[in-house]
Amino acid sequence: MTLVETIRMIKEAEEKALKDYKELLKELKRPEDAELRRVILRLAVDKIFHKELMEAIERAYREASVLLKEHIEPFYPELEPIRESVMELDQGLALLPGVPSLLLPLDFGKVGYRIPPEEVLEELIKSFPEISIIPQDKLDRIIEKLNDVVEMEKEMQNGYKKLENRAKHPVIRELSKAVLHNEEQHNAILSKIIDKFKK
C-alpha cells in the first residue's frame, strides 16, 4: 500500500468515525447524557481535525507530484516513474525533507526534526555549478531572491512559533512544531546556498 493509499484509508476511517459520533450525539439528548455527550463531542471535534489534515496531506502530495514530475523527470529520467506516493521512489530512494533535490538511501534513517547535518548540506551544494560560470547579473538575481525567501522563512518561523504557543488543540500544536522544525531545515539549506553564491 502506497503512502497516499494509506492516507486515503485513514481519511475514510476518520470520516466514518465522525459520522458515527454525529449520530451518537443526536441520541444523547437527556440531561443525564450530558457528561457522555461532552466527551463524544470532544472526540468528534478531534475527528474533524484529523480528517481535514488527511485531506490537506493528500492534496499536498498531489500538488507535490505535479511539481516533481515537471521539475525532476525531465532532468533526471532515471527517476521515472515517480509513483503516486511521491516521497517513496521506485529506486529505493527517499526525498530528504527540506531538501527536495537531494536523494538519500532509505537506510539513512528518519530525518525527523534534525536539521540536515553539515556533511549533507556540503554534499548538496557540491553539485551546484561553479559560481564563475554563472553570469554576474543572473547570480545577483539568484542571491536577491534567496535573501527574500530567507526573510519570508523568518516570518513563517515566527508565525509557527506563535501558533504553537497559542494553539489549544494538541494536534495543531504538534503540527505547528513539526512545520517550524521543517522551516528551520529550509533556513539552514538556504543559508548554505547563499554562502556558496556569495564566495
**How confident is the model over 157-181, as pLDDT tens digits?**
999 999 999 988 888 889 888 888 8
Q: Do 127 and 68 share a domain, yes or no?
A: no
* Mean pLDDT confidence for 11-29: 94
Residue type, 170: P
Residue 120: pLDDT over 60 = yes
Domain boundary among 75, 102, 118: 75
Q: Do 67 and 115 share a domain, yes or no?
A: no
Backbone angle region of 129, left / alpha / beta, with phi > 0 → left and psi within -120 to 50 → alpha: beta
Residue 103: pLDDT over 70 = no
Residue 100: pLDDT over 70 = no
What is the predicted pLDDT for the residue at 89?
Answer: 39
User: Residue 177 in 3-state DSSP?
Assistant: helix
Look up residue 14 and give its three cell numbers.
476518520
Look up residue 43 and give its three cell numbers.
472526540
What is the predicted pLDDT for the residue at 73?
Answer: 63
Look up residue 95 and give its three cell numbers.
526525498
Of 135, 132, 122, nearest to 193 by C-alpha is: 122
| Contact partners, residue 79, CB within 8 Å, separation at least 6 | 72, 73, 89, 91, 93, 103
Q: Do 65 and 134 share a domain, yes or no?
A: no
What is the predicted pLDDT for the residue at 83?
Answer: 42
The answer to whether residue 11 is domain-embedded is: yes
Which one is predicted more confidently, 26 or 93?
26
The answer to whether residue 81 is domain-embedded is: no
**How confident is the model over 31-76, as pLDDT tens digits?**
999 999 999 999 999 999 999 998 998 888 778 777 777 776 666 5
Helix (H) or strand (E) holding 90: none
Count of the separate structural domains present in the chain = 2
